[in-house]
Amino acid sequence: MLTLLFDGIAYGMLLFVLAVGLAVTLGLMNFINLAHGAFAMAGGYITVLAMSRLGVPFLLCLPLAFVGTALLGALLEPTLYRRMYARPHLDQVLFSIGLVFMAVTGVDYVVGSMQQNIQLPEWLKGRFDIEWIGIGKYRSFIIIVCGVLTIALQWVLAKTRFGSQLRASVDDPRVAGGLGLNVNRIFLLTFAVGSGLAGLGGALGAEVLGLDPTFPLKFMIYFLIVVAVGGTTTLTGPLLAALLLGIADVAGKYYVPKLGSFIVYTLMIVILLIRPQGLFARAGGGK
Amino acid sequence: MSAVSQSLRAHATWRWWEFALLAVLLVSWLLLPSHALLLNEIAILALFALSLDLILGYAGVVSLGHAAFFGIGSYAAALFAKLVMPDPLVGMVVAVAIATALGALFSVLILRGTDLTRLMVTLGIASILYELANKLDWLTGGADGLQGVVMGPLLGQFEFDLGGRTAYAYTLAVLIVCLLLARRLVHSPFGYSLQALRDNRLRAGSIGLSVNLRLVAVYAVAAGIAGAAGALLAQTSGFSSLDVFEFHRSAEVMLVLVIGGTGYLYGGIFGAIVFKLLHDLISAWTPQYWNFWLGLFLVVLVLVGREKLMRPWTWFGAKKS
Amino acid sequence: MKSSRRLLRLISTVAASVVTIGVAAQSTSSPIKIGLILPMTGQSASTGRQIDAAVKLWMAQNGNKIAGRTVEVILKDDAAVPDTTRRLAQELIVNDKVAVIAGFGITPTALATAPLGTQSKTPMVVMAAATSSITEASPYFIRTSFTLPQATIGIADWAAKNKIKKVVTLVADYGPGFDAEKFFDSQFRLDGGQILDKLRTPLKSPDFAPVLQRVIDTKPDALFVFLPSGQGAAFMKQFAERGLDKSGVKLIATGDVTDDDQLNDMGDVALGVVNSHHYSAAHPSAVNKKFVEAFQAANKGMRPNFMAVGGYDGMRVIYKALEATKGEGGEKLLNAMKGQIFESPRGPVLIDGQTRDIVQDIYIRKVERVPAMGNGLYNVEFDVIKAVKDPGKAK
């Protein structure tokens, strides 16, 4: 039972890191980016290819995945995404779906459609068995890394100037611009970091979630659930939503395997019915 | 007042190209018998897209799960034919009724919240229905699909032939009927109030239009028409599988509608024709990577401006506002 | 006026003769068309890839002429969507007038197409799908792949005779999975064993973690697994990660889990897994060695798996039947396919005249490293059950 809880937390933390970029993009630029999963996939593939072709050790691949994907995001934001901010949501949805299709088939073409396997370093394989719970080493690693990232993100938002600039821009971009903040640059940096985090999440998750070209399509709904339920105005909202989702999913599949993903979707619909702005959104503000 | 009603009436009169389109549709059945199968698929897709246009183009609801009703119609028709009676027309009526009822029921879920919320809820509903159909495999055949559906002859006379000509005629008939119905609907006071809703929900509410009631009504109608499309698929192919609830169906119908243009009812038809033809062409050349070109097409389309696709005269020259 | 009329006459004569010659040419040497519908994209794309490669290999080795006519294979992608398969089959039958439809990557695609074959009297060769009931859905089905009941009773029998008393079964939630579960259950219990629990995972994007947790909690002697080809690798990793490989729970499976396509990439975690199936790339026959070598040479070292063999043998059945009927199709062609008996790369094979299903040897294998074959991981056969008829029909 506790093992389940542990697994659920690991899964939830991973989902959070994967989805946080999406939450911020939505909150900041009001852009529904369904292609977010593609950045995660990119990070996963960078890791796999670096490890298998170039022999880069796993730990080094993680920052590599982050930086690589962040660069990709920094490239795409000013060239493509920026033109779409003012567009209606339908256009944004179509645009990002188009990007996903291109990414999915592009990766299929270059790398092939098989599941990619990562050979973890030895010290990450296996588990600690303590009394009645088995703690997977790799899953603990995920929890630690994601935990550290969350704390770092929270610190950046709350304690740095960039953080307050970001929060100001989220609350009201026009006023922020009027006060002299370079909103474009903030958008660029935020998008890059958000994509980088997704890439890191993809690299971390390749072992646990599997990695193949259809990754963005398979997990898109989970990211969207985290963001819709968690709201986009705080950081703790998506975190709690991700944890809830992770635990509910794992527990559901164990206790009631007949219902499986049913539970997650129903839970989401119920939550959204009761609180359409998300479970943890701040009152007031928001669209 | 009379100026307003005059302009509204002018809006509602039949254009020459509407007649031309209808003529082309009817003639296609006569002149292209060997392509009846492909044309049948295009017509079903067009009907599905038409239903989406009602909620997306006219009421402004972005749905990523419209396949839910397509699937309901498909399974309802297939199960009815298998378990109750194989007459296609009765099955169609039953399927449409079920889809409409469920549409009215689910519409309650999309009334509140932001665009994202609605997106998620519609997606969630379609996913839940998929899982349900999968779990109830004693009824639906699960992942193997529902077999043993043998359709009776249409109107007691016309068997569904291997070449698909009867099927196409049937689909065309349903498409035209629904088109006429939808046309009547959007050119009515109800239809205009929907557009007001789409353009500015807050304002529409503030001048006394009951927003929620209208949304429920249009969602139910759209669900019914989508159900009809699904029923057509099941009846003309004698088969129904989980695929009808899949995300790619919802995504595909949205693409089709966007290609053709939202908000004028015929976008679904044009879009379906262009999409299917493109698909067949590109798939023949590169079956594995057709999605890439589709994605590229979408990205370019949106960047350039999707209103421009069906208006070639805007492709070059000054930008209109 | 006069010159234009002459021109007109000239043109029409030329046109008429071209048309006549064309028609005459058509009727004596119109190509024999084979419709090949495979999942080249989507979840089952690896199946399509393997079969496509095998079909091309066959044609490269055996030429493309039968009874003086050219054989043309029309390849279509159905992405494993049954509606698409059905529509493509309909078009191939009606517009292209194919003599035979082949392929069928997953069971639903075969079931959807069944009525078409029956109605149009077109033989349909199932090269991949493995649910027992397929051949009963239409009298025009011929199968060259295998059935899950065939593959399953082998391992169920072996397990019962090798000190395994309590088993948990885990299968994917679809036709072949139900077949595997049912036949493992009946065979194993017949031999005196006990099934502790029957678990299922969804066909698309399964999550093995919670299900494996249940296995840990139930503590069986062995875990029997059936998963569609392509999911084996992910499963193995989860199995090892949960410590199950060290916990004394033996992993037994059908060969789909240790699919040759993915086996080498699974790593040491797959070593020692005992499984039963109808084809291993390491099968020690001369015919197979040639087949594997030729396949790898033509496909950049890609190893053929049981899907490829299904495709290869399917082409063999089609070719020999077409030769026997001199290119004619319909019921004659179907009858020429029944009863064929030959040596396939997998071993001896018979197409049963009554059930139209395949009768073949089932091997019990263990995953080992084979130094003679580049030290790669292979399913090494150590026992065989000869001439297994599909138990799903032996009623």
Q: What are the C-alpha distances in Å from B251 to residues A96, B47, B111, B246, B259?
A: 12, 15, 21, 9, 12
Residues B210-255: pLDDT tens digits? Answer: 888 888 999 999 999 999 999 999 998 888 888 889 888 888 898 8
Is the CB of residue C289 less than 8 Å away from at least one CB of chain A?
Answer: no
Is the CB of residue C268 less than 8 Å away from at least one CB of chain A?
Answer: no
pTM above 0.90, yes or no: no
Give every CB contact of residue B158 below 8 A, 6+ residues apart in sequence. Answer: B166, B169
Cross-strand pairs, B197: none
In a domain, C15, yes or no: no
Q: Which of residues 216-275 of A touch B (CB under 8 A)?
A: 217, 221, 224-225, 227-228, 258-262, 265-266, 268-269, 272-273
Is the CB of residue A265 less than 8 Å away from at least one CB of chain C?
Answer: no
- What order do you get walking across the sheet with C141-143 strand by strand? C65-66, C69-77, C32-38, C100-103, C124-126, C141-143
Question: Are B114 and A276 within 8 A, CB to CB?
Answer: yes
pLDDT score for B320: 44
Which of A30-34, A122-126, C190-194 bottoms out in mean pLDDT, i.e. has the lowest? A122-126
Question: Are A254 and C210 within 8 A, CB to CB?
Answer: yes
pLDDT score for C25: 45
Residues A226-273: pLDDT tens digits? Answer: 888 888 777 888 899 999 888 888 888 888 776 767 778 888 888 888
Both C263 and C368 in one domain: the answer is: yes
For chain C, the domain total comes to: 2
Both C272 and C153 in one domain: the answer is: yes
Q: Are B242 and C84 in contact (CB under 8 A)?
A: no
Measure C232 CA to nearest chain A CA, in Å: 10
Both C254 and C298 in one domain: the answer is: no
Both C327 and C273 in one domain: the answer is: no
Is the CB of residue A78 less than 8 Å away from at least one CB of chain C?
Answer: no
How far out from the chain centre does Cα C365 lie?
A: 19
Is the CB of residue B292 less than 8 Å away from at least one CB of chain A?
Answer: yes
Measure A210 CA to nearest chain C CA, in Å: 7
Q: Which residue on chain A is closest to C199 by alpha carbon?
A: A257
Name the pLDDT band for B287 (thresholds 50, 70, 90). low
Question: Are B162 and C119 within 8 A, CB to CB?
Answer: yes
Task: List chains adjacent to chain B, taking adjacency as at least 3 C-beta pairs closer than 8 Å.
Answer: A, C
**CB pairs B-C closer than 8 Å:** 74
Beta strands in chain A (DSSP E): 127-130, 133-136
Closest in C86, C94, C174 to B144, CB measured: C174
Provide the phi-psi class of C227: left if phi over 0, else alpha when psi is between -120 and 50, else beta: beta
- Is residue C6 over pLDDT 70? no
Who wins on pLDDT, B266 or C241?
B266
Residues B89-121: pLDDT tens digits? Answer: 999 999 999 999 999 999 988 887 777 788 888
Measure B100 CA to nearest chain A CA, in Å: 21
Both C118 and C154 in one domain: the answer is: no
Token pair belonging to B105: 């029921």
> What's the CATH class of domain B18-289?
mainly alpha
Question: Are C211 and A117 within 8 A, CB to CB?
Answer: no
Question: Are C83 and B233 within 8 A, CB to CB?
Answer: yes
Measure C81 CA to nearest chain B CA, in Å: 7
CA distance A247 to B212: 35
In a domain, C85, yes or no: yes
| Over residues C281-298, mean pLDDT | 93
Who wins on pLDDT, B201 or A196?
A196
Both C367 and C220 in one domain: the answer is: yes
CA distance A164 to A158: 7
pLDDT score for B308: 59
Q: Which residue on chain B is closest to A82 by alpha carbon?
A: B303
pLDDT score for C23: 45
Q: Which of residues 157-186 of A touch C (CB under 8 A)?
A: none
Closest in B62, B127, B298 to A95, CB measured: B298
pLDDT score for B1: 58
Is the CB of residue B153 less than 8 Å away from at least one CB of chain A?
Answer: no
How far out from the chain centre does Cα A135 lie?
A: 24
Residues of A in contact with C214 (CB under 8 A): 254, 257
* Amino acid (1-letter code) at residue A280: F
Name the pLDDT band for C252 (thresholds 50, 70, 90). very high
pLDDT score for B309: 60
Q: Percent of chain A, pLDDT > 70? A: 91
Task: List chains adjacent to chain A, taking adjacency as at least 3 C-beta pairs closer than 8 Å.
Answer: B, C
- Is residue C135 over pLDDT 50? yes
In a domain, C123, yes or no: yes
Both C229 and C370 in one domain: the answer is: yes
Q: Which residue on chain A is closest to B293 by alpha carbon?
A: A102
Counting runs of H as helices and runs of E as strands, what totals does chain A give?
A: 11, 2
**CB pairs A-B closer than 8 Å:** 126
pLDDT score for A70: 92
Measure A220 CA to nearest chain B CA, in Å: 11
Closest in A32, A91, A105 to B295, CB measured: A105
Q: Are A262 and A56 in contact (CB under 8 A)?
A: no
Both C343 and C295 in one domain: the answer is: yes
- Is residue C9 over pLDDT 60? no
In a domain, C12, yes or no: no
Run of H or E including C101: strand C100-103
For chain B, give every domain's residue range: 18-289
| Over residues A52-56, mean pLDDT | 82
pLDDT score for C24: 44
Residues of C in contact with A214 (CB under 8 A): 43
Both C105 and C199 in one domain: the answer is: no
Q: Which residue on chain C is closest to A124 by alpha carbon?
A: C241
Q: Which residue on chain A is closest to C261 by alpha carbon?
A: A114
Domain that holds residue C246: 149-277+362-393
> Which residue segments constitute the domains of chain A, with CATH numbers given?
2-274 (1.10.3470)
pLDDT score for C1: 42
Q: What are the C-alpha distances in Å from C222 to residues A29, A221, C167, C194, C227?
A: 53, 35, 5, 11, 16
Question: Are B143 and C90 within 8 A, CB to CB?
Answer: no
In a domain, C67, yes or no: yes
pLDDT score for C21: 47
Q: Which of residues 201-240 of B touch A (CB under 8 A)?
A: none
Q: Which residue on chain A is closest to B122 by alpha carbon?
A: A269
Measure A248 CA to nearest chain B CA, in Å: 16
Which positions in chain B have a beta carbon within 8 angstroms of at least one beta carbon in chain C?
34, 37-38, 41, 134, 142-145, 147, 150, 162-164, 233, 237-239, 241, 243-244, 283, 287-288, 290-291
Both C59 and C123 in one domain: the answer is: yes
- Is residue A277 over pLDDT 80? no
* CATH assignment of the domain containing C154: 3.40.50.2300
| Over residues B41-47, mean pLDDT | 93
Question: Are A3 and C213 within 8 A, CB to CB?
Answer: yes
- 3-state secondary structure at position B34: helix
Written in H, E and C, the secondary structure of B40-92 is HHHHHHHHHHHHHHHHHHHCCCCCCCCHHHHHHHHHHHHHHHHHCCCCHHHHH
Both C165 and C192 in one domain: the answer is: yes
Both C136 and C255 in one domain: the answer is: no
Q: Which of A34, A79, A102, A220 to mutate to test the interface with B (most CBs of B within 10 A)?
A: A102
In a domain, C23, yes or no: no
- Is residue B315 over pLDDT 60? no
Residues C90-99: pLDDT tens digits? Answer: 889 988 899 9
- Is residue C395 over pLDDT 50? no
Residues of B in contact with C111 (CB under 8 A): 144-145, 147, 239
Is the CB of residue C65 less than 8 Å away from at least one CB of chain A?
Answer: no
| Over residues B306-311, mean pLDDT | 61
How far out from the chain centre does Cα C95 lie?
A: 26
Who wins on pLDDT, A283 or B239?
B239
Name the pLDDT band for A118 (thresholds 50, 70, 90). confident
Is the CB of residue B111 less than 8 Å away from at least one CB of chain A?
Answer: no
Q: Percent of chain B, pLDDT > 70? A: 94
